[in-house]
Structure 1
């Protein structure tokens, strides 16, 4: 049985935070009498974790507000196609993929709501902790640290998806005072988020008794990520070094350990969405509900088939005879050298799929539209007790919001950008060395493909070579973890990469023929129309929508 905190979804939401753009309909309210005991206050704190997975109500469509950001980070990038049963299946996602996103798409609306639901729960919990005398100072400090980290996370997601967002904290307000504009500058928003993580870092312990509660390491890692987004590269390096100096974290021995539900809370995991099934809660909605459409189909899973890996992503794992990344964009052939991370990430015809069988092209739901590859990275075997082989077809596999390989690549990128090319090469080689030691095997124990991964033996020729090596390594290591599109945006190359991607891929995927990325608009998603309508003109739409 996995040891994790219970992610209670309380019936109570927050009457103090349900006006206008937050648009949360309270199901109940808690009086001060209700909160006059430690268990009730702790339940509010626990409830603030629950929206991490995108589940905010009794519906089963958390896939429209995924905590993993597979729609917002994978499908709109060059790593994946929407998938499913053609362009009409979850058509809003299709419009997002071809950059015809509009403010009425359910995914745009629901992700906003999920993040602000999380913020509302955090704010109410902070009020409760500060108003409750029955906690020790140590307890109060730790719990406030947790809540500040959670609030920082929800705002970080909102910032990188919508860019211009309203800021609401725990300050008590009259109902009419929740008409808040989204007019803070980038610098102001990033500073507010940084303060959340700094408070968390100062207040949280290095370890928590309850697995699944956030720690000082999670706050430190998130600070490093924020400094990367704001291009404060010296702070990235010193913050990552401080994390490593604790000695608490290291890479897992094997790459796939990060996606094995029996090996969770390992030394690489810093901050995860906690999931469970068969825990006595209704509908098993604490499982991977936001990813239930990613099942590949075939004889072992229901036929959903979303977040299908692109040909472009598969080709990115091709290596040269020397074991280094092949960058010519040519399609992978049967005898080509490939990075073994390809077959931990992607279901490919003829390659063993977990402990089930070799993946077959017939498992693909709509190969004519989306090709034959399948999402594999966070799939749990249908034979596992940690997979629910019935509706809603979810697993108990956690999702790492941040893991150490991610953080190491933060530092490598910062080193490349500040001229420490050898430091960047050392980290990239560390990541590649681990990848080389985790091949996918056939049922008979032989390698499933022609695997070859080598370290960069010679120093990088110049800063641009180092930059490209780090960016390539980041794509390979973090593929289909909801990161790619946000990386392209912060690197300032989303328009170039995506339009070149469409030019290549439309010959294979004709539905992409009209897809086009517009620089200055499509880096961010529109503010939901429903929230604009409720805001009395205070919320302003993003440019181009």
Structure 2
């Protein structure tokens, strides 16, 4: 987190790349609990360690777009992050570095949260209930990621698990995982405040939004409508749509009224390619920027996660969100006063002519010292427009078209588009299309297509009954003694 996430927590927690075990990422006995959790400061350091494991947000951003019809993998070649190219082509299997990273990162975060709960009774102090509520909310986020990607997974709460226990840790049915997520989030909502003094900490609103999303993904539309409607109607945090969509994703407009659940990044500390999850900066930004670019406005990068023409053409005429979300590079160059002086390179991993204009390197937003890895641009996990559209969907699916149109049209009015007057299935489809245009490039598309049953129609190579879930990394199955069955079709 921007406010304190630069603290070193290696002594307490190690790193997520240092161990072959998924369920016990941090080295055993690195920090004896008898010598820790003895002060309020220890608990504060520990919760920062939990927050830190949200930093690899680039994984969700890339996979959520590249697995869908929104983007291709790009990069230097098809061997550059091969796992992303396999995901793009729906040829991914049990050997995939990016999918293994998803598993490892989220279980690392869970282990860190559970370490807090193991020791929650060691001391008492004012504010401990807030720290534990934060830990429950963030643990829910990690479990939500795991169940969304992989379905049934081992559910471990309130304790870490030893490497020796892994072969006996069965995969828990996803319904039980969702039940735990809901329980944790309800308990956190009851404790967390609407606003916080330290930017980046979990709030009541962020936790309600995550619970609403959890309910929506399970098809619990009436419950989701009730909860999200309460969030919208109560709104003691003062959430609102930021009126200038074209500048919403600039660093200068971070932590504004639209930000509900945001992962904070800093550009003030370096990192290296050997541990992308160790960075304080947003790795997605440099990777998604223009390869070997020299020219105004933008910085050079690695041309990952390139939007498709299908996405570019999906916008209505006059929708300002298209150019705010997608950089049409040749059109941009042609509009400059010195187009002949602007150059860039095309990577061998694919080229569409488009770049993600929300998470891209800009010359006046560079981090230090390696601006490929130190972008200060925050990642918005859930913003207010997403809340309104999730509510619109939940209301429509539970029979309240009038309220659904109200929430949908708030999003359209922000960008001066005419209101939608549809009803029934036409309204539902309009809401889903609005999600694509509003949230383009933010990592939601694949999961939206899967949960709404549209993936086979929209994604080339998608096999129903298989690709709704990603495969469990084979190395983790091996580490579990072969007791975890692979997901169907892999």
**Normalised by the size of structure 1, how large is the TM-score?**
0.81
CA distance in 2, matches of 1:38, 1:357: 58
What is the match of residue 228 of structure 1? 216
Can you list the C-alpha shifts for 1:363-383, whole angstroms capped at 9, x where unaligned? 352389322111211224212
Q: 1:370 to 1:359 in 2, by over 3 A?
A: farther
What is the match of residue 253 of structure 1? 243
CA distance in 2, matches of 1:474, 1:239: 19
What is the match of residue 44 of structure 1? 46
Q: 1:115 aligns with which of 90, 102, 106?
A: 106
Q: 1:366 to 1:392 in 2, by over 3 A?
A: closer
Q: Secondary structure at the match of 2:403?
A: helix
Deviation for aligned residue 1:523: 1.1
Q: Secondary structure at the match of 2:324?
A: helix
Computed over aligned residues only, the root mean square deviation of the Cα atoms, in angstroms, reads: 2.7
Question: Contact 2:140–2:184 (CA<8 Å) still a contact in 1?
Answer: yes
Deviation for aligned residue 1:171: 3.2
What is the match of residue 513 of structure 1? none
What is the match of residue 280 of structure 2? 286
What is the match of residue 79 of structure 1? 70
Question: Contact 2:73–2:349 (CA<8 Å) still a contact in 1?
Answer: no
What is the match of residue 204 of structure 2? 216
Question: Contact 1:409–1:428 (CA<8 Å) still a contact in 2?
Answer: yes
Question: Contact 2:55–2:279 (CA<8 Å) still a contact in 1?
Answer: no
Q: 1:143 to 1:287 in 2, by over 3 A?
A: same
Q: 1:376 to 1:425 in 2, by over 3 A?
A: same
Question: Contact 1:182–1:540 (CA<8 Å) still a contact in 2?
Answer: no
Can you list the C-alpha shifts for 1:258-316, whole angstroms capped at 9, x where unaligned? 3121222211111111100225x666920112443111231152341011000110010
What is the match of residue 477 of structure 1? 438
Q: 1:376 aligns with which of 338, 357, 379?
A: 357
What is the match of residue 154 of structure 2? 166
Q: Secondary structure at the match of 1:217?
A: helix
Q: 1:380 to 1:190 in 2, by over 3 A?
A: same
Matches within 5 A, 1:86-485: 86-133=77-124, 135-136=125-126, 139-171=127-159, 176-244=164-232, 245-248=234-237, 249-279=239-269, 285-297=279-291, 298-299=293-294, 300-317=298-315, 319=316, 337-349=317-329, 351-352=331-332, 363=344, 365-366=346-347, 369-384=350-365, 386-388=366-368, 390-436=370-416, 453-456=417-420, 459-460=421-422, 462-485=423-446
Deviation for aligned residue 1:172: 6.1
What is the match of residue 331 of structure 1? none
CA distance in 1, matches of 2:162, 2:459: 45
What is the match of residue 443 of structure 1? none
CA distance in 1, matches of 2:201, 2:186: 17
CA distance in 1, matches of 2:348, 2:47: 45
Q: 1:524 to 1:7 in 2, by over 3 A?
A: farther
Q: 1:373 to 1:359 in 2, by over 3 A?
A: farther
User: More displaced, 226-235 or 123-132?
Assistant: 123-132
Deviation for aligned residue 1:4: 3.0
Q: Secondary structure at the match of 1:53?
A: coil
Question: Contact 2:261–2:380 (CA<8 Å) still a contact in 1?
Answer: yes
What is the match of residue 538 of structure 1? 483
Deviation for aligned residue 1:393: 4.2
Deviation for aligned residue 1:94: 0.7
Deviation for aligned residue 1:20: 4.4
Deviation for aligned residue 1:242: 1.8
Q: How many residues align?
A: 473
CA distance in 1, matches of 2:215, 2:264: 26
Question: Contact 1:349–1:358 (CA<8 Å) still a contact in 2?
Answer: no
CA distance in 2, matches of 1:26, 1:295: 36
User: Gapped runs of 5+ residues in structure 2?
Assistant: 273-277
CA distance in 2, matches of 1:211, 1:465: 40
**Normalised by the size of structure 2, how large is the TM-score?**
0.89
User: Gapped runs of 5+ residues in structure 1?
Assistant: 55-65, 320-336, 437-452, 500-515
User: More displaced, 175-184 or 265-274?
Assistant: 175-184
CA distance in 2, matches of 1:3, 1:20: 29
Q: Secondary structure at the match of 1:29?
A: coil
Can you list the C-alpha shifts for 1:425-481, whole angstroms capped at 9, x where unaligned? 222221111123xxxxxxxxxxxxxxxx3323xx31x41110111001000001010
Can you list the C-alpha shifts for 1:28-83, whole angstroms capped at 9, x where unaligned? 324422332222221111111001022xxxxxxxxxxx445123200010000111
CA distance in 1, matches of 2:345, 2:256: 33
Deviation for aligned residue 1:21: 3.7
CA distance in 2, matches of 1:241, 1:359: 49
